[in-house]
Amino acid sequence: MKNNLFDLAGRYFILMGKVLSKPEKRSIYGRRILAEIASLGLNSIGIVAIISVFMGAVITIQMALNLESPFIPKYLIGYAARESMLLEFSSTVVALILAGKVGSNIASEIGTMRITEQIDALEIMGVNSASYLILPKIVATVLFFPFLTILSMGIGVAGGYVVCVLTGIVNPEAYIVGVQSDFKPFYITYSLIKSSTFAFIITSISGFYGYYANGNSLEVGRASTQAVVVSSIVILIFNLILTQVLLT
């Protein structure tokens, strides 16, 4: 099978055409979306929370160590930690981590369905298998990832506060002042747009690699790895594009 970039892109867009076609029965898709929110979204809360709290704490410590100057007010550490979480970490870094967790899950699940003929069985029944399997995952993640991003922002900033209290590296009151200063609500919007876009990228690319997996379990593993690698690269490219488009 050809695997050059144009061939892959062509097959990806053809698959997306099938995925985004009109669903057979909306009520079935509604139920599947809820199930996917539980499977892909709610099950990711734990890892997002753990990563965010440590990320917020580390950013705060590093800011405090690097901004040790009598000319720089201490509250700027809280400000910088908040901006880092809002602008980049809670959307992009969390998306890269979810590309590993959710992306490999989707690619291996759909890939296994392919090699065990479950997808053929759906096709024989007259079901649009691409739409039935991938669309609910896309909708679920596009809707739920922004909540994970908001959660990550809150927990990350709280992680910074906790480290201030525990280590005394920065005065906690100064940190809170920094967190509250010069707040731009658009940064939240920008971050949510990015997280929804990244959710689409992760789910559609992982679905694509799983759907076209063939052969045996080795191929499913390979498809899963490719899904994570390609999703991560595309996320970084779109991060650059969206930052340029939305912030400049």
Partner 1 sequence: MIRAEHIVKSFDGRVVLNDISATFRTGTTNLIIGQSGSGKTVLLKSLVGLHRIDSGAIYYDDICFSQLGFRELKAIRREVGMLFQGGALLDSSNVEENVRLPLDLFTSQSAEEKRERVHFCLKRVNLENVDHLYPAELSGGMIKRVAIARAIVLNPKYLFCDEPNSGLDPMTSVVIDNLIKEITEEYNITTIINTHDMNSVLEIGEHVLFIYKGQKWWEGTKHDILHTDNRELNDFVFASTMAKRAKACSQIHLDEP
CB of 111 to partner 1, least distance (A): 12
CB of 118 to partner 1, least distance (A): 5
Q: Is 156 or 210 the residue whose CB approaches partner 1 more closely?
A: 210
Q: Is 22 or 70 the residue whose CB approaches partner 1 more closely?
A: 22
CB of 19 to partner 1, least distance (A): 15
CB of 125 to partner 1, least distance (A): 5
Other residues' Cβ atoms within 10 Å of the Cβ of residue 198 = 29
Binding residues for partner 1, per CB under 8 A? 24-25, 28, 112-113, 116-118, 120-121, 123-127
CA end-to-end span of the chain: 42
Question: Residue 247, class by beta-carbon neighbours within 10 Å (0-12 exposed, 13-18 middle, 19+ buried)?
Answer: exposed
Q: Measure the CA–CA gap between 16 and 142, rounded to whole angstroms.
A: 15
Output the CA–CA distances (angstroms, integers) from residue 149 to 41, 75, 124, 213, 232, in the order listed.
11, 24, 40, 31, 17
